[in-house]
Amino acid sequence: MELAFLAVVAIYALYKTKQQSKKIKDIQSKLEDLELFLNTSSVPIFVKDSDGSYIECNNAFLKLIEKSKKDILNTKNIDEDILSSLHEEMDKQLLKQESIRYKEIFLLKSHKPHMYEFFKNSIRDSKGNYRGYVCIMIDATEHERQENLLQWEAHQEIEKNKIILKKHEDEKLANAKFTAIGQFAAGITHEINTPLTYIKGNLELLKMDFFDLVKDVSQKKQILENIDDMQIGIDRIATIVSSMREMSKQKQVGLSRSNLYATLITSLTMTYNRSKQICKIYINDEEFTLDISKDRYEFFADIQDQRVEQTWIIIINNALDELKKKPNFDERKLNINIARQNSKIKVEFRDNGGGIPEDIMDDIFEPFISGKPESGVGLGLSIAKRILDEQNATIRAYNENNGAVFEIIIAAS
């Protein structure tokens, strides 16, 4: 009886052993499948136990750290330079939560530092006890670079927009000031013009009276010369007042038929106080003086004359800025030519101030592009081009004979 019982126990034990062996084989097969899956992944993966020791990893991780599996199994730190104490602090969070995610530089001695994103998930038994974690590492270096680049570009765009906004605000403020100055100038020119008319008329009468009052011929000649000088001075004042009055008129809304030559003379008159100290200016081969008549030539076009005058002033002042760098007054040249070309009118400004730097030539009419880094903000020529665009005119710039040339083409009317 005992023998039979022992036989039954032996048979049962053999059966259970076979069952356990089958389960072990199944588990081994699953582990092999899992290991195959891990090793076919190009993403570095490793597993640590609750003590922080490596218990498993894939080939991608071994390739990354340049070590064999036997070198790292049952060790906590691969290399002090590779995994910093930050990782250990982050790992402690897995005692209380299921997963963590963070970015950190992964530094290898034989490679450049790479930014990796670590995805760590805790491993727990059926009772919820912490048994370790599995970590997947994603190379985020390029993504981080692109993100930083986008942030930098966004920052640059914001800063650029701030500058543009400030320039627009400054321009609005300047326009408001110019409007106030224009209104003030209009009042001043009216106040000056009235007594100037009396002075001019009385000077003519005085000149005639001297013929009767003064008998001495030499004295008469001297006095008449003095009166002529006074007459010239008064005429110059009248010319300046006339130009100020034109510049202070209300801004035109539409285009009107105007003499382009007259707009050039007005602009030259307004810049004369500065230009006479820098260089002589020639217009159509004639030296400019305040005595030149605005009606000497007629080149009519449909324009906003005040806006066009503003453009001429910008171009003239730009030329003067470059010319004053030349030490010798007599070597400085600024020639302005206006001529008819079939149905067009060509206005040309030529100086010998050294020309436009080649690196900004293609962008010379863009905002914030300046050939005067020490003083310019690069808005003048962009404003000039915008004004000329409004007049249906074109402008181009190029260098010739050690100087800059600005060529403007406007349709004649």
Q: What percent of the chain is predicted at pLDDT more than 70?
A: 69
318 or 84: which leads in pLDDT: 318
Among the candidates 197, 220, 250, a domain finishes at 250
Backbone angles phi, psi at 75, to 5 degrees: -110, 155
pLDDT band, residue 87 (cuts 50/70/90): confident
Domain shared by 94 and 195, yes or no: no
Domain shared by 49 and 128, yes or no: yes
37 or 159: which leads in pLDDT: 159
Domain shared by 242 and 156, yes or no: yes
Q: Is residue 92 part of a domain?
A: yes
Q: Is residue 17 part of a domain?
A: yes
Instruction: Say what the pLDDT of residue 227 is.
Output: 75
pLDDT band, residue 376 (cuts 50/70/90): very low
Distance CA 179, CA 386 (A): 20
pLDDT band, residue 39 (cuts 50/70/90): confident
Instruction: Say what the pLDDT of residue 8 is.
Output: 47
Domain shared by 284 and 413, yes or no: yes
Q: Is residue 236 part of a domain?
A: yes
Mean pLDDT of the chain: 79
- Cβ contact 90:120 at 8 Å: yes
pLDDT of 115-150, one tens digit each? 888 999 999 988 889 999 999 998 888 777 777 767
Distance CA 106, CA 113 (A): 6
97 or 260: which leads in pLDDT: 260
The total number of structural domains that make up the chain = 4
Angle at 356 between CA 354 and CA 358, to 5 degrees: 115
Distance CA 198, CA 205 (A): 11
Among the candidates 250, 267, 290, a domain finishes at 250
408-411 contacts at long range (C-beta below 8 A, 24 or more positions apart): 408/311, 408/346, 408/347, 408/348, 409/341, 409/344, 409/345, 409/346, 410/260, 410/301, 410/303, 410/344, 410/345, 410/347, 411/301, 411/302, 411/343, 411/344, 411/345
Domain shared by 297 and 402, yes or no: yes
Most confident of 4-8, 57-61, 153-157, 300-304: 300-304
* Other C-beta atoms lying within 10 Å of the C-beta of residue 299: 20
Q: Is residue 328 part of a domain?
A: yes
* Position 331 pLDDT exceeds 80: yes
* Mean local confidence (pLDDT), 21-34: 55
* Mean local confidence (pLDDT), 256-270: 93
241 or 345: which leads in pLDDT: 345
* Position 6 pLDDT exceeds 90: no
Residue 368's CATH number: 3.30.565.10
Q: Is residue 36 part of a domain?
A: no
User: Edge-to-edge strands of the sheet including 286-287?
Assistant: 286-287, 281-283, 334-341, 344-351, 404-411, 394-399
Instruction: Say what the pLDDT of residue 235 is.
Output: 72
Domain shared by 308 and 408, yes or no: yes
Domain shared by 279 and 390, yes or no: yes
Q: Is residue 369 part of a domain?
A: yes
* Position 15 pLDDT exceeds 60: no
Q: Which domain holds residue 21?
A: 1-31
Q: Is residue 26 part of a domain?
A: yes
* Position 396 pLDDT exceeds 90: yes
pLDDT of 43-77, one tens digit each? 899 999 988 899 888 998 988 888 888 888 888 87
Domain shared by 111 and 5, yes or no: no
Instruction: Say what the pLDDT of residue 377 is.
Output: 43
* Position 319 pLDDT exceeds 60: yes
* Mean local confidence (pLDDT), 158-163: 78
Domain shared by 284 and 388, yes or no: yes
Q: Is residue 314 part of a domain?
A: yes
Instruction: Say what the pLDDT of residue 126 is.
Output: 84
* Position 311 pLDDT exceeds 70: yes
Instruction: Say what the pLDDT of residue 284 is.
Output: 96
Among the candidates 250, 284, 308, a domain finishes at 250
pLDDT of 174-222, one tens digit each? 666 656 666 666 667 656 766 776 676 667 667 666 666 666 656 667 7
Least confident of 130-134, 224-228, 367-371: 367-371
Domain shared by 262 and 245, yes or no: no
Domain shared by 174 and 132, yes or no: no
Q: Considering only CA atoms, which of 251, 349, 239, 348 is closest in space to residue 305?
A: 251
Domain shared by 87 and 23, yes or no: no
